[in-house]
Structure 1
Amino acid sequence: MTETARTGQLSTDADDLALVATDIAQTAAAHVRRRRPELFGSATVYESSDGVGGAAAVSTKSTPTDPVTLADTETEEMIASLLAERRPGEEMLGEEGGGTVDIPRGVRWVVDPIDGTVNFMYGIPAYAVSVAAQIDGVSVAGAVVDVAREVTYAAARGSGAYRHSGDARDRLRVSGIDDVSLALVATGFAYDRRRREQQAGIIAALLPRIRDIRRVGAAALDLCMVASGAVDAHIEHGLSPWDWAAGGLIAAEAGAVVTLPPAQSRSSDGHPTIALSPGVAQEMTRLFDEVGALRDLP
């Protein structure tokens, strides 16, 4: 437990909080990595319903296409337990367990135990654990672990963003692109049919004017890809705080121009989450406006 030497109170220093976020996210990611073959083996989710793995390990949330697995709930419970040990008395907002919409005073932890659950189910190696610390609703520290690749992205407010892989630690920097027509843009789609139709219309208008679109299926990883320069922009409507709390900070600390929903918002509000490499930020924002991407999508 991190404490100040003089008062014994929990530290609210962003670098200290980032260490906690990173440690817990990596511990949780190891659990997710181990549980995937235990739950699904080499099969996809729909190939087994024997009560041991496969379909028996999955339920749904907002729609039949919005899944949650045993690993999601187990991992969130693990993170909650670890936070209770290291940061007793602080609130947690999790994708599965929920939490208050109101912004508490002091530190709140915002957690997505598996971002990219559909990928996790199907064995597509693009899913992440995301852990962020917010103070008064603003992210000050966060870590996103790319579970399959065993890569950690982490940031503390004002201290930059870094990628950890094995013993290597590299400073993250956004791409230097300055031509929107060459921009690679990451996005994602909602589970709600009506919003998907609106998102499809935006992409159809956007696609002829950029290099291409990438749909990885995990918003936290999309934001980290902006931070690393792997893509030049990200836009997605209807993310909840656990989707962007860590990744948005990591992208911003790597130099991206980031627009986030209000801290008390939820997916149903339809706010856009945007991260842009600065060389194309102004022109890309104008383009997003032209195709209707800056408005909320209910």
Structure 2
Amino acid sequence: MKSMIELTTISKQYEDQYALKDLSLTINDGELFVLVGPSGSGKTTLLKTINRLVVPTMGTVKIDGEDVAQVDLQQLRRRIGYVLQTGALFPNMTVAQNASVQLDNLGWPTEKKQQRISELLEQVGLAPDLFLNRMPSELSGGEAQRVGIVRALAARPKLVLMDEPFSALDPVSRRQLQQIVIDLHHNIDTTIVFVTHDMHEAVRLADRVAVVYHGELQQVGTPAQLLSSPATPFVKTFFADEQAGNRLLGQVVAKGFGCTPSATDQPVTLQPDQTIYAWAALLQERPTQTILVNGQLLTNQDLLRYMASLGTGGDRD
């Protein structure tokens, strides 16, 4: 797989304190890559080295093989979408004007610009005829953040950085926006680097996760790898709640769900250390698709019954 971002021996020192220390990391082209860790761990500092909002004390950052320190700063940032912790919309500009800022800088013609913004508003669940002319003061927090996502994607960047974009939202809005990011990532040719301190969010969103603690890289892997084989005591502790939360497919089978497949079944084989989120994503694309885990055939109804059992604290009847 082609690498898009290469961070090599990155350190960032403030006086006698290290925010990042000798950290190396590769992010693949097209990944939804999540940086996770507790507050103050250095994950946002690491994210900001990619678009040079933070200049590392040591080390190099390359995008598509090009050292970002050697690239014109304005040109670099025009190629990167950026979503902040809040929508960060200009209060005196409409939704359409806010979403079009980057396109204005690039000189897009009015008709093409309006078409692009309307298309993206539809994709994030905002009807263009209702929202294009609204002011930021007329939006909820979740709506404002959706507009922020539209603005970041408007110019079709190959890379989007998202810095804890949902941390200030209520649980319902947060869940909705997580699904929007998952859906957008499936539909667009863009690498997303997403920062969060919430391990549940990381597990739900990520193709791969990097765990950062005290400015040092603890582990990189798929959510299933981190849940099943934590590399350090910190990773094990950090993901303990998620691991105990019955989210692995092996735990579904262990609870008695599934049956022996027949000769006519055509299941997709998933590994026991993969999560129910991978199963749900597959069902979203193919609602009747069965899966095979540890020799057991699981259907969409098994997933529903399993989730119901978690809600009641019971097992299968």
**Greater Rg over alpha carbons, structure:** 2
TM-score (norm 2): 0.26
